[in-house]
Amino acid sequence: MMLLTQAAMGESASKEAMIKARQGEFETAKLLIQQADEAFVEVHKTQTSLIGFDEGEGKVPMTLILTHIQDHIMTGMLAKEVAIEIIALREEMAELKAALTR
């Protein structure tokens, strides 16, 4: 369940970062991306620990919950990547708007 919580935290921070970027709060958005990064580092550590325990021998059965958790991890990581691009685009748009209004 720790994996699920960590993945959800990363995904949530990524989505909130996009909202903050839309509101022009770019520094807050970038801090949220850092939080997402930290969550996904913890996800990776936990996954690595599970893989090490399993040793490729099937000691950790592939259950529905593990499949569900992996889905959350992948979508969360994708959300972070998309958020990074959206933040950059919103920042560029804000700079262009500011330049046009001068």
What percentage of residues in the chain have a pLDDT greater than 70? 100
Distance, CA of 14 to CA of 77 (rounded, Å): 9
Q: Indicate the range of 7-11, 58-62, 80-84 predicted with least confidence.
A: 58-62
Tell me which fold the domain 2-100 belongs to: Methane Monooxygenase Hydroxylase; Chain G, domain 1 (1.20.58)
Q: Which positions are catalytic?
A: 68
- What is the pTM for the complete model shown? 0.88
Q: What is the mean pLDDT of residues 85-101?
A: 96
Q: What is the pLDDT of residue 57?
A: 82
Q: What is the pLDDT of residue 37?
A: 97
Q: Where are the domains of the chain?
A: 2-100
- H-helix or E-strand containing 82? helix 64-100
Q: What is the mean pLDDT of residues 61-78?
A: 91
What average pLDDT does the structure give for the chain? 93
Distance, CA of 68 to CA of 22 (rounded, Å): 30
Distance, CA of 72 to CA of 50 (rounded, Å): 17
Task: HSE, CB side, 13 Å, CA atoms: give it for residue 7.
Answer: 20
Chain position carrying tokens 């993945």: 7
Q: What is the pLDDT of residue 36?
A: 97
DSSP 55-71: TTTT-S---HHHHHHHH
pLDDT digits (tens, 9 = 90+) for 35-58: 999 999 999 998 888 889 888 888
Band of residue 22 on the pLDDT scale cut at 50, 70, 90: very high
